[in-house]
Amino acid sequence: MTDLVDRARGALHAQPFSVLLGTELMHVGPDELTLRLPVREELKQQHGFVHGGVISYLADNALTFAGALALGPRVVTGEYKINYLRPAMSGTLVARARVVFAGRQQATCQCSVFVMENGDERLVALAQGTVSRMGEAGGTNGAHGTHGEHAPPA
């Protein structure tokens, strides 16, 4: 399991955007993982809430990393949907994603995004998406992944 965690952490650190935001890998299991992102002022929109794009990024990354647990390291997001349930203003965002179903070329994954503050955990958003295995030549086997290659654990 240590090798799996090391590869996932390495993949996260290979993403310049994730490094810029300060995203951290907290947990990797056989079919689930957890990412976290401390809330900073730079991540907020004009009303003082964490920007929806930041929450969406975190869910997307967690979904794709979870899909890689089932499909291998060369995967992309094929599509995802997110429901914003309540705003987050401070604390730490935590995204917990898990594989719901995996075939040979695609996996369906779900992610819950929470905000943790003062020992309390509140659900902020729910997401579900399809993660697609990339072809040998860098294609996506018919998927139109727009978020680039994610290369978490094999």
Report yes or no on 27 lying in a domain.
yes
Report yes or no on 14 lying in a domain.
yes
Q: Positive or negative CA dihedral for 139, 36, 88, 54?
A: negative
CATH code where residue 26 lies: 3.10.129.10
pLDDT recorded at residue 137: 56
Residue ranges in the chain whose pLDDT is less than 70: 1-2, 137-154
Report yes or no on 153 lying in a domain.
no
**What is the rounded CA–CA span in Å between residue 98 and residue 69?**
9
Report yes or no on 150 lying in a domain.
no
Please report which helix (H) or strand (E) contains residue 127, including its range.
Answer: strand 120-133
| Residue 142 φ then ψ, to 5° | 100, -15
Report yes or no on 7 lying in a domain.
yes
pLDDT recorded at residue 148: 43
Report yes or no on 20 lying in a domain.
yes
pLDDT recorded at residue 5: 82
Split into its structural domains, the chain has a count of 1
What's the pLDDT tens digit per position in 24-54?
999 999 999 999 999 999 999 999 999 999 9
Report yes or no on 19 lying in a domain.
yes
Report yes or no on 96 lying in a domain.
yes
Quote the domain boundaries for residue 75. Answer: 2-133
**What is the rounded CA–CA span in Å between residue 132 and residue 146?**
11
Contact 11, 28 (CB under 8 A): no
